Structure 1
Amino acid sequence: MSQPTRESDFDPSDHGWEALQQDGYEALVGPFWTRHEMGALQVALKTRHEHRNRNGAVHGGVILSLADQGLGLAVLEATGGLKQATIQLDLHFVAATRPGQFVVCIPKVDRVTSGVAFVRGELKVGDRLVATAEGIWKYVEAKR
């Protein structure tokens, strides 16, 4: 993924990303962006100054929110749009992220059963790994 010299100049829509139209909590954190790269879903967030913690890095909760959004959308696609809820999400931080950076979640659904889905993902800034995630999503409506 190419990024401009100044991160603040980066416009995701110029690189094939589409902004998700959301409300509630997701609208406060986002917008979240999606695209399919070689047939695989990617979900991203252009971090902002408001996302920083007291150390000047992006707050871990923001990264966790991106992981939850990315992995959850991958499960939604894998199940044909079934409503679902996160029942477990583990996140491991690898490197700090700075406000203004474009963080991409690359999810992979490992297994879909009749009641839950198992998914994992990597979160990256460019080629740099910043976090890994894995979790379990439960369907809140019957599997078709």
Structure 2
Amino acid sequence: MTHPGYLAETDAAEPKELRTVCPELDAVARHVHEFATMMREHRGDLLPTWMDRFLADDLPVLHSLVSGSRRDIDAVTTAFSTSWSTGQVEGHVTRVKLLTHMGFGRANSISSADAYFTARDPDDVSRSSTEPEPPHSA
């Protein structure tokens, strides 16, 4: 989600119009902006008051987010307060999924990835001479 301050004037105009017409959308956008700010600034201490303000608005469809977060408030607050990220782990999970899908033949549209993982570097001498060559496509 792009910070509203970084949007071009033309890109920011439409959401402003929608928010003036729909008060529920305005409330959700405001809460999302506050949530993103708390995450970016690692302000887990502000989370309980944000949850109270969120529940005060008439948005029952989204109240399950707060209810679920309150069940384990200590873990959620700690996650907000630390600078740790799961980005590297997620990258490895994505790579493993890609390799798994390739093994089961479900990655036909990812031909460049297939070529990357099966191509043999002629300068690579780590492959033993008894290993079969990967199939080459014509």
TM-score by length of 2: 0.25
Instruction: Report which structure shows greater RCO (CA 8 Å, sep ≥6).
Output: 1
Report the structure, 1 or 2, having the larger strand content: 1
Structure possessing the higher radius of gyration over alpha carbons: 2
Report which of the two has the higher share of helix. Answer: 2
TM-score (structure 1 length as normaliser):
0.25
